[in-house]
Chain A
């Protein structure tokens, strides 16, 4: 299978500091891939490496089948980047900004005016099209920067902290546009963010970076399984059965751990297939079950667990 992005042992050093240190991961076409990590984790450097803007110190990368270090110009025609700061020309109007970048991205001169108008309308900026960008709010600038990133209809969209510093309303708007952009044309999205809720909402898979190193990569469920080993199931009880329920459950094959309160049972099982026998044991001993919920970990819980494990490992 041809991956949208394939990275092997990618590294970039600045003097003695490793900004990116041996990254290896793959992104499938059409996937929304999140990259999480604190400041200095190497997220922005990775975006620069994958666009051929920065040369790697080691390792290889293939983006849309191209080596960014060798075919940067060709690759950048097919990628769009929303930088962390909007990076717009504030003395020029919104329309001038888009015309300028459209020409640089090689949008045909005949198509450019219509494409610019369509995007300005789509992102709600038509009325301010001929105003200087310096007069725009931060949210408007971010929308205009997103328009710039989409102008040449890229196959792969890099978004570096797209909602950083925006108020909740503007952030929600930008997130909605990103969702829409990711659905168009089976576009692949590489999303760097601190915002774990945003990543949870948008991303199919995430990679967690710290000090340039990859701590983990996968879906939230996959990461949870590696961190919490097995599946926790919460069982809400209407009536707790008399007798030694805990001993009976521990004797079941596939049950590895449990806690039992007055009206709540938490059981760790090896897989979903064990859940029916847990329920049957509770009911068989005279208990009444209200709800059975396989525990789903939020990306926030996963992220902080990874960071804690990394710190404990370092100590």
Chain B
């Protein structure tokens, strides 16, 4: 493996994405929404509006009715007052899966631009005539999409931690974020999700011919994130350390399977025949 070739390919792909405004603007807007707008709306807005905590988070249902919150979630906020419980549950647990949208989306955007965009812009042929091996081409493109996606997710995590701790300071009276599950979420699951977005794009790129088609198809993986959010709300799942580690392992296994198929389709002969 020639690492100069790999580095050059990855740097070129990132430079190209930076020049493609329609590709990177969503990658800025969505993280801003998750990092700034949502936590402020959840933490600051209720206090500013004077809403009492028991309205936001009713811990007791009407007489004879089941408790509105799953017991596992209730256990996480035991000993906190209603407003503190609201902040911890929303900012610390229910919003957590949304953070996976950031690496997923960024890896899909860069992957679609890199794998399908080359074909769409008719630049792939010249690339295939270079001495770079099939493996170097693939690794260069994978690094171009996965590395910045993970870096962006970590940057957002850092910024989110700052926003949440500062905004919730008057309510919590201490630095409480991140809860323990966020560490495996960011260090173990986020890279797996970024790899999933990229691996799906490699497979999709064999069957579509435009950047938008590839981006939209790989974007449908967001369903996975929505599933995690609904799972938590419904009490079917709680993203604690154990479940997060297990989720990451499952995703890495799926990634490995997708990449195995992807590597088989990513050969010069296959790629040039589809130009």
Q: Chain A 79-99, CB within 8 Å of chain B: the 1/0 string?
A: 101010101111110001000
Q: In this complex, which of A72, A77, A88, A103 has the most chain B Cβ atoms within 10 angstroms of its Cβ?
A: A103
Which B residues lie within 8 Å of A51 (CB)?
129
Which B residues lie within 8 Å of A106 (CB)?
2, 131
Q: Smallest distance from the beta carbon of B16 to chain A beta carbons, Å?
A: 5
Q: Smallest distance from the beta carbon of A142 to chain B beta carbons, Å?
A: 13
Determine whether A74 belongs to the interface, using a CB cutoff of 8 Å to chain B.
yes
B window 1-48: CB within 8 A of A: 2, 4-5, 8-9, 12, 15-16, 19-20
Q: Smallest distance from the beta carbon of A275 to chain B beta carbons, Å?
A: 49
Which B residues lie within 8 Å of A104 (CB)?
5, 8-9, 127, 130-132
Determine whether B125 belongs to the interface, using a CB cutoff of 8 Å to chain A.
yes
Determine whether B78 belongs to the interface, using a CB cutoff of 8 Å to chain A.
no
A87 touches B9 (CB 8 A): no
Query: A92 and B131 in contact (CB under 8 A), knowing A83-B125, A87-B126?
Result: no
B15 touches A96 (CB 8 A): yes
A103 touches B5 (CB 8 A): yes
Q: Chain A 50-89, CB within 8 Å of chain B: the 1/0 string?
A: 0111110000000000000000111011010101010111
Which B residues lie within 8 Å of A132 (CB)?
19
A89 touches B268 (CB 8 A): no
Residue in A14, A87, A103, A105 whose beta carbon sits within 8 Å of that of B125 in the complex:
A87
A100 touches B12 (CB 8 A): yes
A14 touches B20 (CB 8 A): no
Q: Smallest distance from the beta carbon of A60 to chain B beta carbons, Å?
A: 17
B128 touches A92 (CB 8 A): no
Q: Smallest distance from the beta carbon of B113 to chain A beta carbons, Å?
A: 10
Which A residues lie within 8 Å of B220 (CB)?
none
Determine whether B122 belongs to the interface, using a CB cutoff of 8 Å to chain A.
yes
B273 touches A54 (CB 8 A): yes
Closest A residue by C-beta to B128:
A53
Closest A residue by C-beta to B4:
A103
Q: In this complex, which of B2, B20, B122, B124 has the most chain A Cβ atoms within 10 angstroms of its Cβ?
A: B122
A83 touches B126 (CB 8 A): yes
Residue in A54, A73, A87 whose beta carbon sits within 8 Å of that of B122 in the complex:
A87
Determine whether A48 belongs to the interface, using a CB cutoff of 8 Å to chain B.
yes
Q: Smallest distance from the beta carbon of A4 to chain B beta carbons, Å?
A: 17
Which B residues lie within 8 Å of A88 (CB)?
123, 126
Determine whether A136 belongs to the interface, using a CB cutoff of 8 Å to chain B.
no
Bound CA span A87–B118, Å? 9
Which A residues lie within 8 Å of B207 (CB)?
none
Bound CA span A87–B121, Å? 8
Which A residues lie within 8 Å of B132 (CB)?
73, 104
Closest B residue by C-beta to A96:
B15
Q: Smallest distance from the beta carbon of B24 to chain A beta carbons, Å?
A: 12
Determine whether A25 belongs to the interface, using a CB cutoff of 8 Å to chain B.
no
Q: Smallest distance from the beta carbon of B7 to chain A beta carbons, Å?
A: 8
Determine whether A148 belongs to the interface, using a CB cutoff of 8 Å to chain B.
yes
A55 touches B15 (CB 8 A): no
Determine whether B250 belongs to the interface, using a CB cutoff of 8 Å to chain A.
no
Determine whether A101 belongs to the interface, using a CB cutoff of 8 Å to chain B.
yes
A53 touches B131 (CB 8 A): no
Q: Smallest distance from the beta carbon of A54 to chain B beta carbons, Å?
A: 5
A87 touches B130 (CB 8 A): no
B9 touches A92 (CB 8 A): no
B8 touches A100 (CB 8 A): yes
Which A residues lie within 8 Å of B8 (CB)?
100, 103-104
Which B residues lie within 8 Å of A101 (CB)?
126, 130
Q: Smallest distance from the beta carbon of B19 to chain A beta carbons, Å?
A: 4
Which B residues lie within 8 Å of A87 (CB)?
122-127
**A-B CB proximity, top 7 nearest:** A87-B126, A91-B19, A104-B130, A103-B8, A81-B129, A76-B131, A77-B131
Chain A positions near chain B (C-beta within 8 angstroms):
14, 48, 51-55, 72-74, 76-77, 79, 81, 83, 85, 87-92, 96, 100-101, 103-106, 109, 132, 145, 148
- Other than A81-B129, A89-B16, A89-B121, give 18 A-B pairs with Cβ distance below 8 A: A52-B268, A53-B129, A53-B272, A83-B125, A83-B126, A87-B124, A87-B126, A88-B123, A88-B126, A89-B123, A91-B15, A92-B12, A92-B19, A100-B12, A104-B9, A104-B130, A105-B131, A106-B2
For this complex, 15 residue pairs linking A to B, each with C-beta atoms less than 8 Å apart, are A53-B129, A53-B268, A54-B269, A55-B269, A72-B268, A73-B131, A76-B131, A81-B129, A91-B15, A92-B12, A92-B15, A101-B126, A104-B5, A104-B9, A148-B126
